[in-house]
Structure 1
Amino acid sequence: MDNTEVIFVAEKTGEIKADSGFIDINVKHSIDDIKNADILIIPGSTIGFMQEMKNESVLKWIREVDSR
């Protein structure tokens, strides 16, 4: 039985366009909605990563999810 659920989460809900231009994701959950995860995968390119490293609200959310 497969009970895996994959949830895309972003700072805000809505369409996220990858800086590569290869993919768009419709995010239905914000960081305010999701408080824990069994596995947290943070995708992105070097450009996106460097931008998010300056985003304190996202970094705070990652720390909170990690602590649980």
Structure 2
Amino acid sequence: DTMPFIPKGRRVCGWGGWGGSLIINDIDRGLTISYVMNRMEGGLVGDMRGASLLAAAFAATD
């Protein structure tokens, strides 16, 4: 699976876990963002809770 909420052109590596957890390393900005929830949701590659956090972090660093 891919992470469609990562903006195009970003050099990132990351991991998404079952339930919605994720960690993203933005290589160009030297930024690491992680999200660990206290309530699991179904899904293998993060979910909208973490995606919203990522979107805010990417917007703040652009």
TM-score scaled to structure 2, two decimals?
A: 0.28
More helix by proportion, 1 or 2? Answer: 1
TM-score scaled to structure 1, two decimals?
A: 0.26
The structure showing larger relative contact order (alpha-carbon pairs under 8 Å, at least 6 residues apart) is 2
**Higher radius of gyration, 1 or 2:** 1
